[in-house]
Amino acid sequence: MTSAPAYPKALQDLRLPIICSPMFIASGPALVAAQCKAGLVGSFPALNARPAELLDTWLTQLQEELAQWQAEHAQRKVGPIAVNQIVHQSNDRLAQDVATCVKHQVPIIISSLRAPPQEMLDAVHSYGGIVLHDVISLRHAEKALEAGVDGLILVAAGAGGHAGTLSPFALVGEVRKMFKGPLVLSGAIATGDAVLAAQAMGADFAYMGSRWLATQESNVDQAYRQAIVDSTAADVVYTNLFTGVHGNYLKKSIVNAGLDPDNLPEADKTKMNFGSGGGSKAKAWRDIWGAGQGVGLMDDVPTVAEMVDRLEAEYRAARSRLAL
């Protein structure tokens, strides 16, 4: 589909109004390349590239691969790359990672946890890039807009990984009353029908993460993929134990770590970290598996290309049913 002209250039001319969520460990170059080749926004967390110098290598390779693919498939839509930056004092790589993204003129930066500082916004805006910021409440949205971000990602109830608790109807409605710019909605979106529903309630784009975990290109092991396929919403646990920030995780992985998913203690949110397993030897994201409540709609492990074909068919069928 073609986005409205009012959208920033990076968000125009996508095949579907979908921004693929950046997922710790799972989002690597292979997954991002496949998402972009399918005409969506492909993204990954900067922290997935370890050591920090690898970020430059990843971006170089991705940009070269996508440029070559576009040259060979002139009629196909190729989506832009987005890189997620964790804005928090625990991230001692932030300045270096932002500088690397500026060097490569990454068109979309996704900031998380805290509103991005002015120097980060100025650097991204200097070449025409945009910053989208994750929020879970109206207060967080107001602070991000005051900081000067270009768009908001509303992380509603049911989203995989770090997530909020508000109904998407409430969150989109409240934010849309005060902000007319790009809104992206996250929260158990796993089908083309749900993408259209996000737009119907006032969002411009869907933010889809967990569906890509169960694809052939995701950087996870087979046990994780199979757990996604085998799980339902009832198998998703909401806790802040593993990183200090509340998020949704698969119950099976918590049990595998030797913990009782029904009796997890609260973590000290002032001591955030992104690798702890809540006192066990397991590590968040690698052993404690993030996933959203939409897992019950995922029954197979297709390629990204196959999945996007399916999403497009579902999206267009839903539009036809509603005569839109």
What b/e readout covers 140-162, taking b as 16+ CB neighbours within 10 angstroms? Answer: bbeebbebbbbbbbbbbbbbbbb
Nearest C-alpha neighbor of 198 from the set 232, 235, 172: 172
Cβ-based neighbours of 127, under 8 Å, separated by 6 or more: 102, 105
> Residue type at 186?
S
Mean pLDDT of 168-176: 96
> Residue type at 97?
D
The string of pLDDT tens digits covering residues 261-283 is 988 888 765 555 554 445 556 78
- Average pLDDT, whole number, for the chain? 92
Is pLDDT of 3 > 70? no
Nearest C-alpha neighbor of 243 from the set 106, 95, 86, 103: 86
Q: Are strands 183-186 and 151-155 parallel, antiparallel or unpaired?
A: parallel
CB 259 within 8 Å of CB 280: yes
Cis bond upstream, residue 51 (ω within 30): yes
The string of pLDDT tens digits covering residues 46-63 is 999 999 999 999 999 999
Cβ-based neighbours of 169, under 8 Å, separated by 6 or more: 201
The superfamily (CATH) of domain 13-219+306-321 is Aldolase class I (3.20.20.70)
Mean pLDDT of 80-96: 95
Nearest C-alpha neighbor of 96 from the set 62, 63, 120: 120
Q: Is 179 left (phi over 0), alpha (psi -120 to 50) or beta?
A: beta
What b/e readout covers 201-229, taking b as 16+ CB neighbours within 10 angstroms? Answer: ebbbbbbbbbbbbbbebbbbeeebbebbe
Is pLDDT of 257 > 70? yes
Percent of the chain with pLDDT over 70: 94
Q: Rounded to whole angstroms, what are the CA distances from 3 to 102, 146, 199?
A: 25, 25, 12
Is pLDDT of 162 > 90? no
Q: Which helix (H) or strand (E) is 226 found in, with range?
A: helix 222-230
Structure tokens at 212: 């890509």
- pLDDT score at 4: 47
**pTM listed for this prediction:** 0.92
Mean pLDDT of 190-201: 97
Q: Rounded to whole angstroms, what are the CA distances from 36 to 5, 33, 67, 138, 154?
A: 20, 5, 11, 31, 22
Q: Where are the domains of the chain?
A: 13-219+306-321, 222-293
DSSP category for residue 137: S
